[in-house]
């Protein structure tokens, strides 16, 4: 067991992700024969068979499935090691990993990173975009932008401002369905909202937008899909004012409904000693702060 090498475990993880030895070899940039040899070495060292061959490829055995969580944790640790190992180099080298929710991460973040990228073209920026939280206390990501205050230990946190949330629709939607006189009338028109994500529905109910049994004509748990539906004129829905304006969406019932969502940026305290992380944290934080202030 003591002779197991990380390179053999990398092949194991690559086979899990690709479903074949040839796919694993391509992922790792090695020859298929090398991948096979390393996997054989791992199975011999462990004394178990990790995969069975099926018409669909290599399927993990029960023993392999019990190792998945551990090998993924090792892969994450290796990625963190590589980022930190390059941290003392020039500001224009190495990697910075940013994590952000899908709406801000796609609609806002890339534009705000432009000047930083132009100033430091040698830096690799990894953008982890999605609603799953990456643990910055464990350095799964270097810098996080979140819509709730991060509460991990040993982190630096700054509130940047807030997103102003309102009801919006396209001009075509308003022309077709008319402008509702109040929230009760709005609920009778096509609404865009969550599908199966009960937490999102609860927020809308708590905010007074609708009842728990509201029928959404367009239902999706993906916020980008909801925005696309708004732009296409498929109904009425919620959107941050800053994003809605950039797409020409029109504010509906602004005096009847609206709320704010705070935006936070955070990073691990240890990264404050490293110039490139500090600069990225400060530049992104300032640009996001300015963006959030673009509301009358």
pLDDT, one tens digit per residue, over 258-269 is 999 999 999 999
Q: Which of 59, 85, 111 is the last residue of a domain?
A: 85
Segment 108-135 mean pLDDT: 91
Mean pLDDT is lowest, of 18-22, 108-112, 115-119, 158-162, for 18-22
* Residue 62 pLDDT grade (very low, low, confident, very high; cuts 50, 70, 90): confident
**245 and 184, same domain (yes or no):** yes
Give the bridge partners for 52, in sequence order.
59
**64 and 147, same domain (yes or no):** no
Q: Which two tokens stand for residue 81?
A: 């090691």
DSSP structure class, residue 273: G
**131 and 216, same domain (yes or no):** yes
**148 and 205, same domain (yes or no):** yes
> Is residue 1 assigned to a domain?
no
**103 and 53, same domain (yes or no):** no
> Is residue 165 assigned to a domain?
yes
C-alpha span between 175 and 152 (Å, rounded): 48
**115 and 42, same domain (yes or no):** no
Structural contact between residues 248 and 232, judged by C-beta atoms closer than 8 angstroms: no
Task: Name the packing angle between helices 32-46 and 21-28 (round to 10°).
Answer: 110
**What CATH number has the domain bearing residue 138?**
3.40.190.290
**203 and 226, same domain (yes or no):** yes
pLDDT of residue 81: 67
Q: Which two tokens stand for residue 134?
A: 């990456």
The three-state secondary structure class of 250 is strand
Residues spanned by the domain of 221? 91-296
What's the count of helices (H) and strands (E) in the chain, helices before strands?
13, 11
> Is residue 177 assigned to a domain?
yes
Please say if the pLDDT value at position 228 is more than 80: yes
C-alpha span between 44 and 193 (Å, rounded): 52
- In the chain, % of residues over pLDDT 90: 57
Q: Which of 85, 105, 140 is the last residue of a domain?
A: 85
**79 and 185, same domain (yes or no):** no
**74 and 104, same domain (yes or no):** no
Question: Which of residues 217 and 75 earns the better pLDDT score?
Answer: 217
- CB neighbours of residue 210 within 10 Å: 17
Phi (first) and psi of residue 122, to 5 degrees: -80, -10
The three-state secondary structure class of 186 is helix
Please say if the pLDDT value at position 193 is more than 50: yes
**What CATH number has the domain bearing residue 18?**
1.10.10.10
Q: Please give the tally of structural domains in the chain.
A: 2
pLDDT of residue 92: 67
Structural contact between residues 281 and 143, judged by C-beta atoms closer than 8 angstroms: yes
pLDDT of residue 1: 43
Give the bridge partners for 291, in sequence order.
none
**36 and 159, same domain (yes or no):** no
* Residue 4 pLDDT grade (very low, low, confident, very high; cuts 50, 70, 90): low
Segment 121-146 mean pLDDT: 88
Ranges 15-24, 137-146, 247-256, most confident: 247-256
Q: Which of 85, 113, 134 is the last residue of a domain?
A: 85
pLDDT of residue 152: 85
Segment 75-109, tens digit of pLDDT: 777 666 666 665 554 566 788 999 999 999 999 99
The three-state secondary structure class of 164 is strand
**233 and 279, same domain (yes or no):** yes
> Is residue 40 assigned to a domain?
yes
Phi (first) and psi of residue 129, to 5 degrees: -105, 120
Question: Which of residues 83 and 130 earns the better pLDDT score?
Answer: 130
Segment 159-192, tens digit of pLDDT: 999 999 999 999 999 999 999 999 999 999 999 9
Please say if the pLDDT value at position 209 is more than 90: yes
Structural contact between residues 294 and 118, judged by C-beta atoms closer than 8 angstroms: no
Structural contact between residues 158 and 142, judged by C-beta atoms closer than 8 angstroms: no
* Residue 15 pLDDT grade (very low, low, confident, very high; cuts 50, 70, 90): confident
Structural contact between residues 272 and 278, judged by C-beta atoms closer than 8 angstroms: yes
Please say if the pLDDT value at position 220 is more than 90: yes
**130 and 234, same domain (yes or no):** yes
Please say if the pLDDT value at position 68 is more than 90: no
> Is residue 116 assigned to a domain?
yes
């Amino acid at each position: 067991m003591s002779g197991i090498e990380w390179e053999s475990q990398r092949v194991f993880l690559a086979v899990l992700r690709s479903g074949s030895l040839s796919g694993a070899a391509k992922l790792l940039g090695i020859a298929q024969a090398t991948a096979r040899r390393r996997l054989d070495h791992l199975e011999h060292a462990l004394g178990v068979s990790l995969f069975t061959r099926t018409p669909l490829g290599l399927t993990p055995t029960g023993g392999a499935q019990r190792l998945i969580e551990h090998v993924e944790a090792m892969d994450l640790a290796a990625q963190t090691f590589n980022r930190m190992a390059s941290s003392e180099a020039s500001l224009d080298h190495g990697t910075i990993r940013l994590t952000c929710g899908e709406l801000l991460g796609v609609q806002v973040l890339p534009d705000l990173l432009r000047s930083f990228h132009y100033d430091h073209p040698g830096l690799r920026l990894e953008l982890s975009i999605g609603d799953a939280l990456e643990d910055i206390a464990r350095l799964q990501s270097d810098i996080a932008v979140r819509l709730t205050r991060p509460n991990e230990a040993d982190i630096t946190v700054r509130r940047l401002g807030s997103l102003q949330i309102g009801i919006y629709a396209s001009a075509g939607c308003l022309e077709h369905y008319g402008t509702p006189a109040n929230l009760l009338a709005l609920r009778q028109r096509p609404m865009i909202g969550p599908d199966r994500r009960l937490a999102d529905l609860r927020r809308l109910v708590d905010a007074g937008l609708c009842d728990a049994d509201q029928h959404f004509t367009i239902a999706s748990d993906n916020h980008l899909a909801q925005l696309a539906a708004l732009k296409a004129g498929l109904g009425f829905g919620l959107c941050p004012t800053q994003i809605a304006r950039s797409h020409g969406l029109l504010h509906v019932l602004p005096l009847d409904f609206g709320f704010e969502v705070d935006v936070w940026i955070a990073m691990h305290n240890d990264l404050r000693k490293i110039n490139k992380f500090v600069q990225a944290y400060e530049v992104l934080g300032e640009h996001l702060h300015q963006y959030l202030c673009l509301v009358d």
